[in-house]
Amino acid sequence: MSPPTIAIVGAGPAGLTLAKLLHSADTNLSVTIFEHSASAKARHQQGGTLDLHPESGLLALRRMGLHDAARPHLRYEGEELVIADLNGCELVHMKDAPPPADGERDGGMYTRPEIDRERLVEVLLEGVEEGNVRWGKHLKRIDGETGKLEFEDGSVEGPFDLVVGADGAWSKVRSVLSDVMPGYSGICGIEGHIDNPKEFPRIDKLVGRGSFFSFSYGRACMAQRMGDNSIKLGTWQRRPETFIDELVGEQVEQEPLRKKLLEEYRDWCPEIRELIEVAHWRTKWKLYELPVGHKWEHKASYTLIGDSAHLATPFAGMGVNAAMLDALELSDQIITAVKAGTSLDRAVEVYEQGMFPRGRNVQERTMLNKTNGFADDAPLMFMSGMIGVVAKESGWPIDRGLLYWIPITRTAYSFFWMKTSWTACSRRLRRAIWGEKSLRA
Instruction: Report pLDDT for 287.
Output: 98
Instruction: Report pLDDT for 405.
Output: 45
In a domain, 390, yes or no: yes
The answer to whether the Cα torsion of 184, 186, 192, 193 is positive or negative is negative
In a domain, 95, yes or no: no
User: How far is it, in rounded angstroms, from Cα 113 to Cα 331?
Assistant: 24
Q: Name the average pLDDT for the chain.
A: 89
> Is the domain of 429 the same as that of 308?
no
Gyration radius (Cα) of the chain, Å: 23
pLDDT tens per residue, range 298-325:
999 999 999 999 999 999 989 999 999 9
Please identify, among 261, 289, 317, the residue that sits at the C-terminal boundary of a domain.
Answer: 289
> Is the domain of 396 the same as that of 358?
no
> Is the domain of 126 the same as that of 64?
yes
Low-confidence ranges of the chain (pLDDT < 50): 103-104, 109, 403-405, 438-441
* CA-closest candidate to residue 33, choices 154, 139, 189: 139
In a domain, 280, yes or no: yes
Q: What is the CATH number of the domain that holds 31?
A: 3.50.50.60
Please identify, among 289, 309, 340, the residue that sits at the C-terminal boundary of a domain.
Answer: 289
In a domain, 93, yes or no: no
In a domain, 195, yes or no: yes
DSSP 146-212: T--EEETTS-EE---SEEEE---TT-TTHHHH-----EEEEEEEEEEEES-GGGSHHHHHHHTTSEE
* Range(s) of the domain holding residue 423: 380-434
Spatial contact of 223 and 379, defined as CB atoms under 8 Å apart: no
> Is the domain of 255 the same as that of 333?
no
| Inter-CA distances, 370 with 25, 118, 120, 283, Å | 39, 25, 25, 21
In a domain, 85, yes or no: no
Spatial contact of 172 and 141, defined as CB atoms under 8 Å apart: yes
In a domain, 32, yes or no: yes
| Inter-CA distances, 364 with 32, 171, 239, 293, 313, Å | 33, 21, 21, 8, 11
Please identify, among 289, 305, 340, the residue that sits at the C-terminal boundary of a domain.
Answer: 289
Instruction: Report pLDDT for 441.
Output: 39
Distance linking the first and last C-alpha atoms of the chain: 74
How many folded domains does the chain comprise? 3
The alpha carbon of 90 is separated from its chain's Cα centroid by a whole number of angstroms, namely: 23
> Is the domain of 198 the same as that of 311?
no
Instruction: Report pLDDT for 146.
Output: 86
User: How far is it, in rounded angstroms, from Cα 149 to Cα 157?
Assistant: 5
Instruction: Report pLDDT for 104.
Output: 46
Environment class of residue 98 by beta-carbon count within 10 Å: exposed (0-12), middle (13-18) or buried (19+)? exposed
- Mapped onto helix, strand or coil, the DSSP state of residue 317 is coil
> Is the domain of 208 the same as that of 281?
yes
pLDDT tens per residue, range 21-61:
999 988 889 999 999 998 887 766 667 899 999 999 999 99
> Is the domain of 168 the same as that of 245?
no
> Is the domain of 417 the same as that of 346?
no
User: How far is it, in rounded angstroms, from Cα 112 to Cα 109?
Assistant: 7
Instruction: Report pLDDT for 439.
Output: 43
In a domain, 125, yes or no: yes
User: How far is it, in rounded angstroms, from Cα 241 to Cα 40?
Assistant: 31
> Is the domain of 14 the same as that of 73?
yes
> Is the domain of 44 the same as that of 146?
yes
Q: What is the CATH number of the domain that holds 251?
A: 3.30.9.30
Spatial contact of 173 and 302, defined as CB atoms under 8 Å apart: yes
- Strand 231-238 versus strand 219-225 pairing type: antiparallel
Phi/psi for 322 (5° steps) reads -65, -40
- Scored b (16 or more CB within 10 A) or e, 126-157 reads ebbeeebbeeebebeebeeeebebbbeeeeeb
DSSP classification of residue 75: B
**Whole-prediction pTM:** 0.89
* CA-closest candidate to residue 128, choices 1, 271, 24, 252: 24
The answer to whether the Cα torsion of 327, 329, 332, 333 is positive or negative is negative
> Is the domain of 230 the same as that of 335?
no
| Inter-CA distances, 296 with 9, 57, 180, Å | 19, 25, 9
Instruction: Report pLDDT for 425.
Output: 79
> Is the domain of 302 the same as that of 279?
no
